[in-house]
Amino acid sequence: MKSWLLLTSALFAFPLIAQAGDGKDVQTIIVIGKAKGYLATNSVTATKTDTPLLDVPQSIQVVTRQRLDDQAHYAMADVVRYVPGTTIGQGEGNRDQITLRGQNTTADFFLDGVRDDVQYYRGLYNIERVEILKGPFALIFGRGGGGGIINRVQKTPSTGALSVGGAASLNTFGASNISADINAPLSARSAFRLNANYESLDNHRDFFGGERYAINPYFAFDLGDWKLGLSYEYVNDDRVTDRGIPSIATVAGQPNRPITGYNSTFFGTPGVNRAGLEAHIVKARLDGELAENLNWSTTILYGDYDKYYANVFANGAATGQTGTVALSSYIDPTRRQNFIVQTNLLWDATVGPFGNKILLGLEYGDQASSNQRRNGTLSSATLNLANIVYPTVTFGALSRDTVSDVQVFSAYAQDQISFGEHVDVVVGLRYDRFEIRGTDRIGTPRPFARTDEKVSPRLGVVLKPQDNISIYGSYSQSFLPRSGDQFLTMTTSQANLEPETFTNHELGAKWDIRPNLNVTLALFQLDRTNATTPDPNNVTATINIGETQTRGAEFVVTGRITPRWQISGAYTYQDARLTGNDFVKLAQVPEHQLAVWNRYDVNSSLGVGLGAIHQASQFAAIRTSATTTRLPAFTRVDAAVFFKVSERVCFQVNVENVFDIDYVSDAHNNNNITPGAPLNARFTARVKF
């Protein structure tokens, strides 16, 4: 690593930002946002300042820890299914992948506001809340984030009291999960928290299985004017790579549909399809008060990720209900080291009658990657559905061998200006310098490089006719360099293209009907220029499609309807298409999405939960032909029962897909489609001391 990087890290070696209070009457050292049951009221993520969500001029949905527990969510896919406007992708059976406002991404994930962009499955065992921010957020997060981002907020230590908690669960497929959460005050000004998790994986699909385990010790110290947190997380994930089922033609000239009758059939090679990850993630953060109303904060994150996946998968539509399916295969190992430093200066200042919350920030990132790919040779290039015999596979010479290094420098400024009690303005600019240098080492080494310098603006206006109501308008931009979100390679033609640009216009209103009940409404238009998309006819390539536009509306209600009844519900309408060509629809964007989850406490010991998800039909890949696969609409109902034995022990049963419907859960392209799980139940026991 270059000497000036070492100097930069030394200058910023006081890792900082304290996140806003958690709403509990305990002595937190590093605090993480206020929440009341299902309702979050504050966040530092959207503006990097402690700001009520009512005053943030953009759409944000927060999934609190209580809701994660009540719905028995253990994976990001579970969370996203209950967040309309966001769809989960299959991720080729080896990673989290989402579509936000029509923009598909594997990299727009963050941990406590710091980039977490490696392709893997993220756990929730050590997470206090998950924040889904909609619309481009380059000012706060830099490149990418064209449709929005997902930020996980980590559990932090507290000096309040010694607490020991744990949970164990088992579902009817045989999957199990056990976790522990220990908070130990070490002194009046220091504390330690340990979160650990082990998960045995299983589901409704043939041959699927695996295990995942992780551990996260976290130390926090109150140093008087400064507060320091040191966290280390180790993750080990090993599982079967399952890319689902293919499509089949319907009527000639009409969209293909997912093949039926094969919901459990494995379209791979048992023993070959495997994905593995080992990750070490170190995070340091500190916040301190330099003077009255002047705070300085920095976060440093280092991550080392070693990942591979091998897969055999359907590479074409079935020729008939008992016909054949073309197969393909490859193995793909990746190494990544991320070093990211983020520092912020926050000044609360009053100038005349105007209040100002001024944010000045710098960010530096160095991300070194190496990636290889070997294509497989199959003993049979097709799978005969009338007599399934899985092929053997051998992996040949390297078809891709690249190394790359990305260096990013960013500087940003933001001011939240209060014009009295009824008008707030958020205005800011971010400068990013994104430099990639790499080498394609196949044959004669071919170096590739590109440097982009972009300025991303943000403007938001919030009108507050009364304290509990806000009406806002916002404009924001983001960009994505031509190396994509994983920097694996860059062709000569890509190196000559400008970055993709995302521009969002949004109007909305937020209303705290009561302190514990909120509704929001947002209307938005997201325009993407210089757009690319995965090629539906070539799973390893992308195509340029020009300009796209997503228009839509969102309505969200969160909080307590009555003292015993909590709700988290949302509806989203989206129309995502190629600008100037209404036939070309964007992939994995249903026009209508509705998700609602309710918990009703019958008494102090017994509670019940009821939820439903509805998704309209959507295209598995960008619709470029009349036969592009259409995924059918579905409505799924879930339920739960909670029983509190004592203050220390409680049990719950979560039932998924109560009416046992057949549906498609997610997809990667036209012929990698995941069938949804049938009726199943998960039994959970929780203890705390």
Look-up: residue for tokens 């921010």?
133
In this structure, the dihedral spanned by the alpha carbons of residues 299, 345, 19 and 40, taken in order and rounded to 10 degrees, is -130
Task: Tell me which CATH homologous superfamily contains domain 3-688.
Answer: TonB-dependent receptor, beta-barrel domain (2.40.170.20)
Average pLDDT over residues 632-642: 98
Query: Does position 20 have pLDDT exceeding 60, yes or no?
Result: no
The pLDDT, as a whole number, for residue 543 is 60
Q: Which of 390, 400, 240 is nearest to 309 (CA)?
A: 240
Q: Compute the average pLDDT of residues 529-546.
A: 64
- What pLDDT does residue 24 have? 40
Q: Beta strand pairing status for 393-419 and 423-440?
A: antiparallel
Q: Where are the domains of the chain?
A: 3-688
pLDDT at 371 over 90: yes
Please tell me the distance from the alpha carbon of residue 303 to that of residue 307, in angstroms, as a whole number.
Answer: 13
Between CA 410 and CA 432 the distance in angstroms is 4
CB neighbour list of residue 149: distance below 8 Å, 6 or more residues apart: 100, 108, 109, 110, 132, 133, 137, 141
Longest Cα separation, the chain: 81
pLDDT digits (tens, 9 = 90+) for 388-409: 999 999 999 999 999 999 999 9
Work out the number of other CB atoms within 10 angstroms of the CB of residue 579. 15
pLDDT at 540 over 70: no
What's the pTM? 0.92
Assess contact for 475 and 502: CB atoms under 8 A: no
* Residue that the structure tokens 């180790």 belong to: 234
Which residue, 166, 213, 219, 215, is CA-closest to 193? Answer: 219
Contact criterion met (CB below 8 Å) for 438 and 445: no
At residue 12, the pLDDT reads 29
342-366 residue pLDDT tens: 999 999 999 888 999 999 999 999 9
Percent of the chain at pLDDT above 70?
Answer: 93
Please give the pLDDT value at position 145: 86
For the chain, state the CA radius of gyration. 25
Q: CA distances (Å), 42 to each of 129, 488, 568, 663, in order? A: 12, 37, 17, 36
Which pLDDT score is estimated for 30?
67
List of residues 6+ apart from 281 with CB closer than 8 A? 111, 231, 232, 233, 234, 235, 301, 302, 303, 304
pLDDT (0 to 100) of residue 331: 97
* Higher pLDDT, residue 611 or 140: 611
Q: Write the pLDDT tens digit of every residue in 425-470.
A: 999 999 999 999 999 999 999 999 999 999 999 999 999 999 999 9
> Which pLDDT score, from 0 to 100, does residue 538 have?
56
Concatenate the DSSP letters of all residues of 592-653 into one string. EEEEEEEEEESSSSEEEEEEEEEE--EESS---STT--EEPPEEEEEEEEEEE-SSSEEEEE
The pair of structure tokens assigned to 256 is 């293909």
For tokens 């996946």, the residue is 309
494 confidence band (pLDDT: 50, 70, 90): confident
